[in-house]
Amino acid sequence: MTVDKLVLCLSVPDGIHEWLEAFHRMAPGLDVRPWPARPDEGGRFYVAAWNPPDGFFSRLGRPRAVFVLGAGIDRFLKRGDLPPADVPLVRLLDAGMARQMADYALAGVLRFQRNLDLYEEQQRQGLWRPQPARSADGLRVTVLGLGRIGSVVASTLAGLGYQVSGWNRGGALIPGVSCRSGMEALDALLAETDVLINVLPSTPATRGLLDRRRLSLLAPGAGLVNCGRGDQMDLDALVSLLDAGHLRGALLDVFPTEPLAADNPWWRHPKLRITPHVAAVTLPEPAARQVADGIACFEAGGTAAGTVDRGRGY
């Protein structure tokens, strides 16, 4: 089904011309109106947005559906101007993000496997001190979150020879990955983990999941990679465990409040490496294709893939 003459109100923080070109290629009949342009009064329209300005939705009226131009929808659910629950909220299922996330996770794993963190510290001290080598199959990697993105992360690492376990709440089946589910299984799994990779979505069930008790369960000398959400990990507890020597180091891409303030001491902690929420960035062309397909599905009376259950948070 085509999407000719349908209106899409678009709000993105940057790269608007790239987005407009992507929609023109993927859905040439769609009338895309970048913010602050608005739909016709009383007309049928859809919304695609990422971090839109305050009051954005209240100035548009009631859309047929809202497409979130990213995998995370927690920021949208916290908005006071979000349309009511009977307006579908749709998240992107991948849009090029899964491979990026797998690359980022691999960078974190290699950091600890190949002792790059130790060599950075030795460089600061002017030390030439080779460390013992460790093979991929001797490293126990755990991936938290086995959805569209997490399953690619886990299977990519397993394909490279790592001992990969995966965990989520509902269970999964991924070739080459030891998949577990349930809170009791999580506690046991953490004790068997050398590198923990978190790609869980932010939901009521995952917020605060990696608290001091669970972080303490990790194997001594474990490393962490957090590219899920910043509200899932107790960063003060993490720093305390790093300072105590129980944990080795962490690569952090997400934080409870973003951007991270310039005077925050986490920037300067010797065992932390920080990136500005760039582990996986939405690519306009595959995102535009998903939005166009979703609009066509709604117009045909169906439900678009990625439609969110607001009560569950994903």
Count the Cβ atoms, other than its own, within 10 Å of residue 221.
12
Distance between CA atoms of residues 293 and 275, nearest Å:
33
User: Hey, what long-range contacts does 303-310 have (CB within 8 A, 24 or more apart)?
Assistant: 303/88, 304/65, 304/88, 304/90, 305/93, 306/90, 306/91, 306/92, 306/93, 307/88, 307/89, 307/90, 308/68, 308/73, 308/88, 308/89, 308/90, 308/91, 310/77, 310/85, 310/89
For residue range 190-200, what is the model confidence (pLDDT) as tens digits?
A: 999 999 999 99
Q: Where residue 91 sits, what CATH number does that domain have?
A: 3.40.50.720
**Structural domain boundaries enclosing 222:** 97-274
156 in any annotated domain: yes
pLDDT reading at 96 higher than 90: no
Strands (E), 186-261: 195-198, 222-226, 247-252
Per the residue annotation, which of 111, 140, 214, 229 is the catalytic one? 229
229 is catalytic: yes
pLDDT at 151: 96
Q: Name residue 171's amino acid.
A: G
Does 83 share its domain with 55? yes
Give the confidence band of 181 by pLDDT, cuts at 50, 70, 90: very high
Does 292 share its domain with 255? no
The pTM (predicted TM-score) of the whole model is 0.89
307 in any annotated domain: no
pLDDT at 1: 46
Does 83 share its domain with 116? no
Does 34 share its domain with 136? no
CA-nearest of 210, 181, 189, 188 to 198 is: 210
For residue range 124-161, what is the model confidence (pLDDT) as tens digits?
A: 999 999 999 999 999 999 999 999 999 999 999 999 99
For residue range 233-258, what is the model confidence (pLDDT) as tens digits?
A: 999 999 999 999 999 999 999 999 99
Distance between CA atoms of residues 63 and 46, nearest Å:
5
Of the three residues 241, 258, 274, the one that is the final residue of a domain is: 274
pLDDT at 170: 83
Distance between CA atoms of residues 185 and 179, nearest Å:
10
pLDDT at 4: 67
183 in any annotated domain: yes
Per the residue annotation, which of 64, 277, 289, 310 is the catalytic one? 277
Does 190 share its domain with 257? yes
Does 214 share its domain with 104? yes
